[in-house]
Amino acid sequence: MAKIKKEKKLNRLYKAKEKVGGGITMLSIETSCDETAAAVTVNGRQVLSNAIYSQIDLHTIYGGVVPEIASRAHIEKINQIVQKALDDAGKTLDDMDAVAVTYGPGLVGALLVGVAFAKAVAFAKNIPLVGVHHIKGHVCANYIEYPELEPPFLCLVASGGHTHLVKAVSYTDYEIIGRTRDDAAGEAYDKIARAIGLGYPGGPKVEKAAHNGDPHAFEFPRAKIAENPYDFSFSGVKSAVLNTINSYKMKGIEIDEKFQADIAASFQQDVVDTMKERVLMALDEFGMDKFAMAGGVASNQTLRAALKEAVEGAGASFYCPSPILCTDNAAMIGAAGYYEFINGKRAGLDLNAVPGLKLE
Ligand code: KG4
Ligand code: ZN
């Protein structure tokens, strides 16, 4: 009872603070995969700092993220990154009104580092703790880039672990229209990159190689899902690419730069076409006039340009954050965390990492 009273009092205090323009200053933490990140935001959309330590170099030799290495690296870096975020913002922990943290989905050991750190801050400073869904964070990166953007809008979230077409119905509520049946788009990029010898991380490398290739050199299958035309599947195109590579190898044909470029460009064309088709269909069927992109794959310039042209051609507005806000970062968790916070969401000190956390 006393706890509820205290929370009500705190909520009134925050509301009063917002009214006088003080703003909610929030520390946010993101450690769901291979980026150790912390940020300080005011009212979600104003970013005072956005510190990121990317572990890519640690995982490159293994050709992908090694969960145990990721968790250890988060433990080693989290203190420094949070301190950097506070220093860059010119703030201390005493200035924080709340702390937000990604608690899923992601790698359990990686998530736990951020969750434990955030809980320690919340306890030590006696400030509210907010658990944030990683995908909601990706979507909310758009609020940082576009101060005028308001829900509802259609959003394509394409990352290493997820490919979702969602309706952002409010700042905190989402309806899933389509999702991948197998690999995520980023995962497919990573696998294709490995198959043609480009290494990890695949997305940027495939994109670069594709610039010199012919997008129609190979015609890979465009997946269609009978039960839900908005769902995605990237396993068919992945198998088709692998079969093409194997048949070339069996014929003794060398995998040279031209071949790499043509495979990369043809695969990318497949991704662009399947995404464009679903987005245009959804804009029309759901009568949406705004479309946003989010997630690591949204940093792909070819995909951005193709979707921008298609969406604007259909009379809708196009939004896509800068590449640094597309890939994993904590500012986006601050944006999503702020809206959860003003919506009254609070986590207890028993908050746990939920690796398979669902959006609904
Ligand atoms: O959102 P993100 O940083 O982490 C996850 O939540 O998964 O996304 C990482 C994924 C990786 O699979 C990476 O290959 C892909 O995003 N990615 C790209 C590009 N940059 C990163 N995919 C295509 N083109 C890019 N330029
Ligand atoms: Zn992500």
Give the residue numbers spanning the domain of 45.
Answer: 10-142+326-342
DSSP percent split of the chain into helix, strand, coil, nearest 5: 50, 20, 35
User: From the centroid of its chain, how far is CA 31?
Assistant: 12
Give me the pLDDT at residue 63, please.
84
Question: How far does residue 162's CA lie from ligand 2's centre (Å)?
Answer: 8
Give me the pLDDT at residue 47, please.
98
Cα–Cα distances in Å, from 195 out to 249, 302, 316? Answer: 12, 21, 37
Q: Decide which of 12 and 83 is more confident.
A: 83
Question: How far does residue 264's CA lie from ligand 2's centre (Å)?
Answer: 23
Question: How far does residue 243's CA lie from ligand 1's centre (Å)?
Answer: 24
Residues near ion ligand 2 (CB < 5 Å) are: 159, 328
Longest dimension (CA), the chain: 76
Question: pLDDT-based confidence at 49, cuts 50/70/90?
Answer: very high
- On whether both 46 and 157 belong to a single domain, the answer is no
Nearest residue to 166 via CA among 231, 226, 102: 231
- Report which secondary-structure segment, H or E, holds 110: helix 108-125
Give 284-290's long-range contacts (Cβ < 8 A, gap of 24+).
284/314, 286/154, 286/167, 286/177, 288/152, 288/153, 288/154, 288/167, 288/316, 289/315, 289/316, 289/317, 290/149, 290/152, 290/153, 290/154, 290/316, 290/317, 290/319
- On whether both 314 and 335 belong to a single domain, the answer is no
87 within a domain of the structure (yes/no): yes
pLDDT, tens digit, 9 for 90 and up, residues 164-177 = 999 999 999 999 99
Instruction: Tell me: pLDDT of 1 over 60.
Output: no
- Spatial distance between the Cα atoms of 51 and 168, rounded to a whole number of angstroms: 27
| Segment 200-220 mean pLDDT | 95
359 within a domain of the structure (yes/no): no
Give me the pLDDT at residue 201, please.
85
Nearest residue to 147 via CA among 47, 230, 65: 47
Question: pLDDT-based confidence at 145, cuts 50/70/90?
Answer: very high
Query: For the chain, what is the domain count?
Result: 2
Instruction: Tell me: pLDDT of 190 over 90.
Output: yes
- On whether both 190 and 290 belong to a single domain, the answer is yes
Instruction: Tell me: pLDDT of 212 over 80.
Output: yes
- On whether both 14 and 102 belong to a single domain, the answer is yes
Question: pLDDT-based confidence at 200, cuts 50/70/90?
Answer: confident
Three-state secondary-structure class, residue 253 = coil
User: Ligand 1, atom 16: nearest CA belongs to which residue?
Assistant: 296
The percent of residues above 90 in pLDDT, for the chain, comes to 87
For residue 186 and ligand 1, the question of a CB distance below 6 A is answered with yes
46 within a domain of the structure (yes/no): yes
For residue 297 and ligand 1, the question of a CB distance below 6 A is answered with yes
- On whether both 130 and 191 belong to a single domain, the answer is no
- On whether both 42 and 173 belong to a single domain, the answer is no
- On whether both 183 and 313 belong to a single domain, the answer is yes
- On whether both 265 and 335 belong to a single domain, the answer is no
Give me the pLDDT at residue 349, please.
98
263 within a domain of the structure (yes/no): yes
- On whether both 45 and 185 belong to a single domain, the answer is no
CATH number assigned to the domain comprising residue 224: 3.30.420.40
260 within a domain of the structure (yes/no): yes
What atom of ligand 1 comes closest to residue 326's alpha carbon?
1
The percent of residues above 70 in pLDDT, for the chain, comes to 94
